[in-house]
Amino acid sequence: MEKRTYATNISVSTEKQILTILWADSHKSIYPLEGLRRACPCVECAGGHANMGKKVTADIFTSPHTETWTITRLEELGNYAMQVFWGDGHDTGIYRWEYLRDICPIENGVLSL
Ligand SMILES: [Zn+2]
């Protein structure tokens, strides 16, 4: 088990508009929902010609909130990813743990606790 990419706890606060992941190496990641949605890796969100080849970085989490996002369900897919079911029905985003950890806004110094 790779502790850095093993999620031990995941929680969503609609009120605070954040998703929090606690990792097995004790690091705590906080993802503003606006950025998390913008970072959606699905083909529809990431595959357009305008976005081709663009790499998502932690800077995406500085995006101001354009609306109140809700997450209705999270599903862990084996030990490699989680699928996010957004309140607006978008559910094709499969976020790999490694991807999430790599763009952690705390670790990358974009946000502070
Ligand atoms: Zn998407």
pLDDT digits (tens, 9 = 90+) for 74-111: 999 988 999 999 999 999 999 999 999 999 999 999 99
Q: What single-letter DSSP state applies at residue 67?
A: S
Domains of the chain: 3-102 (3.30.2020.30)
Integer angstrom CA distances of residue 110 from 2, 32, 80, 91: 24, 11, 25, 26
Q: How far is CA 17 from CA 48, 54, 67, 68, 99, in A?
A: 26, 25, 10, 7, 20
From ligand 1's centre to the CA of 60, what distance in Å? 15
Q: What is the pLDDT of residues 4-14, one digit of tens each?
A: 999 999 999 99
24 C-alpha to ligand 1 centroid (Å):
27
Specify the pTM: 0.92
DSSP conformation letters of 8-29: EEEEEETTTTEEEEEETTS-EE
Q: How far is CA 68 from the centre of its chain?
A: 16
Measured in Å, residue 104 CA sits from the centre of ligand 1 at 18
